[in-house]
Amino acid sequence: MARHYSFLYLRSKIFMTSDIFFAPEIDDNIFEIDLHSTDNIVDALSLLEKELFRSSQKKLSYAKIIHGIGSGSLAKAVHQELDKHPLVKNWKETADGGSCIVIF
């Protein structure tokens, strides 16, 4: 497995990390896919598919998917979809549990 490195510039010093989620987690302008507006899981997964494709067309490296916490059924469905999606290289749930970061 190839190693990916993120660079952090602080006061003229460069720090290197092999955590591929480091840069996306601190990016205030990360592209967000918000699934809160959907009425059900089927609609949410359809929107997710469209937005993942759109992200790939924009040549984005990563995005944030907001699925919310709730009962957990939407989060579970989203995670299962990400596990098998061909555009997704990796994903990680955020610390708050209401979203995840996706690496393309």
pLDDT tens by residue, 23-35? 777 788 899 999 9
Distance CA 61, CA 41 (A): 26
Distance CA 42, CA 45 (A): 5
40's tokens: 């059900």
Question: Where in the chain are the domains?
Answer: 27-103
For the entire predicted model, the pTM comes to 0.78
Longest dimension (CA), the chain: 48
What is the overall mean pLDDT for the chain? 85
CATH fold, domain 27-103, is Ribosomal Protein S8; Chain: A, domain 1 (3.30.1370)
